[in-house]
Amino acid sequence: MTQSPVAIPASPPVLRFAPSPTGLLHVGNARTALYNALLARRAGGTFILRYDDTDAARSTAAFAEAIAQDLDWLGIPPDRVARQSDRVALYRAAAERLKAMGRLYPAYESEEELEQRRLSRRRRGLPPIYDRAALALTGDDRARLEAEGRRPHWRFRLDGRAVSWVDGVRGAQTVDTATLSDPVLVREDGTFLYTLPSVVDDIDMGVTLVVRGEDHVTNTGVQIEIIEALGAVPPGFAHHNLLTLPSGEGLSKRLGHLSLRALREDGQEALAVAALAALTGTSLAVQAVPDLDTLAAKIDLAAISRAPARFDPDDLAGLTAATLHLADHAAVAERLAGLGIGGGAAFWNAVRGNLGRITDAARWWQVVTGPLAPVIAPEDRGFLDQALAVLPPEPWGEDVWPVWIAALKPSAGRSGRALFHPLRLALTAAESGPELKALLPLIGRERAAARLRGEAA
C-alpha cells in the first residue's frame, strides 16, 4: 500500500510595517502597511508594527501613538508591537559580531573630508563612493586619531558582488554592491542608523517577507549581505511603487502630505482610503470594497506597477460614498450611535445610497425623527389635502407607500413628478433623497400627516 505524502503546512508568514515615528502616516505609508497587514491576515500570519525609532532626535511618542491610532482606524491593528529603542542591546551584539569578523570597521573621516573626497573622485571620473581609506589604518593611526579627539563611526565592509533576489513585485533583481559605499551602520556617538537594526530585527522576529517601498531596493542589496554575514537566511522582499501627489511630487511624512489623520478628519471612510491606497498603481480596478477581507483577497504583489502612481484625493470622495453605499448596518452601527443616529438597519438601508459621508446620515435622521418644516407650494395645497385624506391607517408595513400611491393616483389625477415631488417636499423638505417608499414607514403616520397639513413635525 502506498502512503500518501504528508502535507507539511508552510509556517504562517510574519510581516512587519516599520515606520519611523517622525511624522503622521500618509497614504503612501498606508499602502505599505496595508500590503503587509493584509498579506499576513490572508495567510493567518503575524503582522508586526515595529517603530524604527533609533533616531531619537526626530522620533516622538506622540507620533508613535498617532501611528497606532491610524492603523486601528484603517482596521489593521498589529498583532505585535516593538520599538527599536528597546532593543539596542541586540544591535550592539550584532555589531560586535560583525567587528569580530572584520566586516565592521572604524572610520574617522568628517563629513567635510568625505565631501572633499567625493568631489575629487568625481573630478577624476570615478564614482563618488567611499574609498575605504579607513581600512588601511593601523593601530597606531587609530590611536593618534583618537588622541586628537576623533571618535570612529563604523562601516560595513561590503563584499562588492552581485546580490540577487526574486522580488515579489519587480521579479529578478540584482544590486551590485561594488558600486556602493560601505554603509555606515553605527554613528560616532554609538547610535545606530536604520540599516543594521532593521536587519537584526527581521532576523530576530522571524520576518518571512518584507514589503516596502521601492526607495529601499538598493538597501536590500546591502541588507542581504549583512543578513548573510550574520549567518541568517534572507526573508523574501517585495518593493512596491511609490504613490505621489497629483502633481507628481513625492509624499512626505515630514511635510504632512495626505495624512491619514487629515483624511479621517475630512470624513473619508477608512475602507475607501484603504482601497484607494492599495489598488492605485496596480493593474487591478480601483473600486469600493465591503470589508478588508475582500480587499485582502484582491492584493496581488505581481499586479503592482513599476512606475510611480498618482494618488488623487479627489477620487476619494466618490470612493467614500461608494463604500458607504456598500456598507452593512453592522459595520457602521457603532459610528451611527456615536453620531446620535438610531433607526437600525431599516434606517441605514434606506439612506446609505444617498450619503457622501457618514455624517450626512444625520440630515436624514432629522427627516425621520423631526422636527422638520415641510415645504409646500401654494398650488399643491389641494393635492396634499387629497393625499392626507387617503393616507392609510396604521399599522404601517413596508408596503404603505405603494398602497397610499395606488389610492391617491386616480383621485388626484396626477402622475410622475407632479405626483411625487410635492409629496417629497412636504415629507422631507428636500428636493431629492432616499426613496420615499423606504422613508415613509420610518417617518410614521402621525409625523407624515402633520407635515402634509403643513405643520412642522
Q: Which residues bind ligand GLU (CB under 6 A)?
A: 18-20, 52, 194, 198, 210, 212, 216
How many Å apart are CA 33 and CA 26, to the nearest integer?
Answer: 11
CB of 29 to ligand GLU, least distance (A): 7
Helix (H, G, I), strand (E, B) or coil at 126: coil
Residue 308 phi/psi, 5-degree rounding, is: -60, 150
Q: What residues have CB less than 8 Å from 252, skipping those under 6 apart?
A: 23, 26
Q: How far is the CB of 223 from ligand GLU (least distance, A)?
A: 8
- Pick between residue 51 and residue 404 the one whose CB is nearest to ligand GLU: 51
Dig out the grid coordinates for 388 from the structure: 392626507
Q: Under a CB-based contact definition with an 8 Å cutoff, are residues 241 and 28 in contact?
A: no
Strands (E), 85-235: 104-107, 153-156, 162-167, 171-176, 184-186, 209-213
CB nearer to ligand GLU: pick between 242 and 450: 242
Burial of 89 (0-12, 13-18, 19+ CB in 10 A): exposed
Cβ-contact 305, 283 below 8 angstroms: yes
Nearer to ligand GLU, 52 or 167 (CB): 52
Nearest to 78 by CA among 38, 43, 49, 120: 49
**With respect to ligand GLU, which residue has the nearer C-beta, 199 or 336?**
199
Q: C-beta of 68: minimal distance to ligand GLU in Å?
A: 15
Q: Which residues contact 259 (CB under 8 A, 6 or more apart)?
A: 24, 25, 26
**Cα separation of 120 and 123, whole Å?**
5
What minimum distance in Å lies between the beta carbon of 54 and ligand GLU? 9
Q: Least separation, in Å, of the C-beta of 217 and ligand GLU?
A: 11
* Strand pairing category for 153-156 and 104-107: antiparallel
Q: Which is nearer to ligand GLU, 227 or 452 (by Cβ)?
A: 227
Is 69 or 369 the residue whose CB approaches ligand GLU more closely? Answer: 69
CB 367 within 8 A of CB 429: yes
Angstrom distance (rounded) from CA 281 to CA 278: 8
| Pairwise CA distance, residues 90 & 74, whole Å | 32
Query: Which is nearer to ligand GLU, 63 or 347 (by Cβ)?
Result: 63
Do 209 and 47 form a contact (C-beta atoms < 8 A)? no
* Rounded Cα distance, 292 and 256, in Å: 25
- Kindly state the smallest distance separating residue 209's Cβ from ligand GLU, in Å: 11
> Taking a C-beta distance cutoff of 8 angstroms, is the pair 127, 98 a contact?
no
Sole residue written with cell 504632512: 256
- Cell for 323? 463604500
To ligand GLU, the closest distance from the beta carbon of 398 in angstroms equals: 53
DSSP-derived letter for residue 339 is T
User: Residue 19 Cβ, how far from ligand GLU at the closest point, in Å?
Assistant: 5
Return the bridge partners of 17, or none: 49
- Distance, CA of 91 to CA of 53 (rounded, Å): 13
Q: Please, what is the minimum distance in Å from the beta carbon of residue 241 to ligand GLU?
A: 14
How far apart are CB 253 and ligand GLU at their closest, in Å? 8
Of 20 and 241, nearer to ligand GLU (C-beta) is: 20
Q: Is 236 within 8 Å of 265 (Cβ atoms)?
A: no
Nearer to ligand GLU, 36 or 354 (CB): 36
**Closest CB to ligand GLU among 193 and 388?**
193
Closest distance of CB 308 from ligand GLU, Å: 16
Question: What is the CB-side half-sphere exposure of residue 451 using CA atoms within 13 A?
Answer: 27
Q: How far is the CB of 34 from ligand GLU (least distance, A)?
A: 14
**Contact (CB, 8 A) for 452 and 426:** yes
Q: Which is nearer to ligand GLU, 210 or 400 (CB)?
A: 210
By C-beta, is 169 or 336 nearer to ligand GLU?
Answer: 169
